[in-house]
Amino acid sequence: MSQIAIIGGGLAGLAAATDLSLRGFEVVVFEKRKWPSHKVCGEYVSNEVLPYLNRLGADPLSWGAVAIESFEFSSPNGRYRHTTLPLGGFSISRFALDVHMAHRAREAGAIIHDHMEITGIENDAQGMTLIAHDGTRHGFDVVLGAFGKRSKMDKSLERPEFYHRTDYVGLKQYFRGEYPTHQVGLYHFGPGYLGISNVETGLLNVAVLVRSDALKGGKTPAQLLQEVIASQPRIHDHLAHATPILDNPLAISNISFLPRSVVHRGILMMGDAAGMIPPLAGNGMAMAIRAAQLASHEVAAYLKGQCSREEMEVRYARGWNDEFQKRLQWGRRLQRIMEHEWACNIGLQLTRLVPGGLATIVQQTHGTSHE
């Protein structure tokens, strides 16, 4: 029996794999997809996790990540405001970040199996047995769940949120165009919002969250993007002359922001598997990495005999909630506001009247720097 299994080779999974391997534990990562691949993602990371990444031997800026210093927000009527980001951040494609993080995890000693889907988990007194899509069985002392926002694993584990249907669709396209290098932007356009940032390839990453009814009537994601660019004045300023790169935008559906169980059937959940913050908060990637740090600390304590399995689970859940609950609540409040054009327009006007108002909102959805 090996020590630690991580289901999912995204940011949380790879960061935890690196951390725990550096601590001397045996770690195996199972990633169901042919890997790496492009993902629907805003591709902005807050600097709050940069010291931790550096401690793991990961340096996104040396991999070409673009330093982000400011934030621009625009309401549906095209009015906009800027603020300096308190901690700053960086922007890098998920494709590149996953490649480099996986390389670092392997350097640290982790074993990574891509294109291997875990379809079931059995618990017993000795630990947990993972059942792969090919019928093979793999025993582990501890299992971490980093399988994303919506997975067959949720159904296999009978997590109730799997059966909840939502009205949100996520889109992502790369553009070749001009945009302020060290800025990340969020632009409301009625049925949704759109984010822009530069990534290491010199392209613009454009990510969209939109209500699914915006795609009814046979409208394609590409057509919707062009309509949005033409209709929202500030988006038009930035993207009217930009050229799309991917043949078709990437798309995901059934995006949910409902609370989720942080520990389920003895599995410590990380990243979107533990709870997804609305993308408008711009901090999902940093939260995934920070969750990996929290989980690694508690798993190490358990495997060293410093606490029981139950104590490990309780401590991780408490630490996760202390770290993220306030951010998630703020993110959900902001999401509700963004669902109404009039509320968003008024909200932007109010930030003009309150000095530092926009910066304060940003701070509520971000954390502090951790080594």
Q: Alpha-carbon Rg of the chain, whole angstroms?
A: 20
Residue 247 placed within a domain = no
> At residue 59, what are phi and psi to the nearest 5 degrees?
-130, 85
Residue 208 placed within a domain = no
How many Cα atoms occupy the beta-carbon half-sphere of 74 within 13 Å? 24
CA distance 248 to 246: 5
Q: In this structure, is the dihedral angle defined by the CA atoms of residues 296, 297, 300 and 301, taken in order, positive or negative? A: negative
> At residue 208, what are phi and psi to the nearest 5 degrees?
-130, 140
46: CATH: 3.50.50.60
Residue 241 placed within a domain = no
The pTM of this model reads 0.91
Helical segments of the chain, H only: 11-22, 50-55, 94-108, 152-156, 221-231, 233-239, 284-303, 309-338, 341-353, 357-364
Going by the DSSP 8-state scheme, the letter that residue 333 receives in this structure is H
Q: How many structural domains are present in the chain?
A: 1
Residue 7 placed within a domain = yes
Residue 240 placed within a domain = no
CA distance 112 to 29: 5
Residue 235 placed within a domain = no
Helical segments of 37-182, H only: 50-55, 94-108, 152-156
Residue 36 placed within a domain = yes
Residue 323 placed within a domain = yes
pLDDT string in tens for the chain (371-residue length): 469 999 999 999 999 999 999 999 999 999 998 778 899 999 999 999 999 999 999 999 999 999 999 999 888 888 888 889 888 999 999 999 999 999 999 999 999 999 999 999 998 877 899 999 999 999 999 999 999 887 877 877 878 776 676 778 999 999 999 999 999 999 988 888 899 999 999 999 999 999 888 888 889 999 999 998 998 999 999 999 999 999 999 999 888 777 789 999 999 999 999 988 777 676 889 999 999 999 999 999 999 999 999 999 999 999 999 998 887 777 777 777 666 665 666 665 656 645 565 656 666 666 676 66
Q: Give residue 301's domain range.
A: 2-165+255-364
CA distance 275 to 119: 21
